[in-house]
Copies of this chain bind each other. A is one copy, B any other.
C-alpha cells in the first residue's frame, strides 16, 4: 500500500469524510478543519504539489471550483508548495476556506 495518505484516501484504503467526487479529483473534510465548512480538493493522480503537473493541478482546481460553487459564500482557495509554505502532506491539495465577516482568519496581507 502506498505511503501517501491522500492516495490511500483516493483508493478507499483510508477513511475520510468525502464531500465531492468526479472522475479526476475528490473533495474531503480535513482532519483538523480551521472553520466549519473547510474542505480540500485532491487530484486522483499523485503529484507532490501544484507545480508538479498541470494535469493534476487543473483536476484539483476544477474540483475546488465546483466545490466553491456548491458552497456559494465568500471563501479563499489556498494551496502550498514546500514545508516553508506550510505544506505538510506532499500530495497536491487545495484548501477551500469559507469566510464570514470578523472570523479573524489571517492571510499574508493580514486579517480582513
Contact with B along A49-86 (1 / 0, CB 8 A): 01100100110011001001100011111111111111
**Interchain CB contact under 8 A, B76 and A51:** no
A35-B108, A106-B106 known; A81-B74 Cβ under 8 A: yes
Question: By the criterion CB–CB under 8 Å, are B108 and A105 in contact?
Answer: yes
Q: Is the CB of A107 within 8 A of B81?
A: no
A107 vs B101: C-alpha distance when bound (angstroms): 16
Q: How far is the CB of A112 from chain B (nearest CB, A)?
A: 5
Select which of B58, B77, B81, B108 is within 8 A of A106 by beta carbon. Answer: B108
- Interface residues in chain A, defined as those with a beta carbon under 8 Å from any beta carbon in chain B: 32, 34-35, 50-51, 54, 57-58, 61-62, 65, 68-69, 73-87, 95, 97, 99-101, 103, 105-110, 112
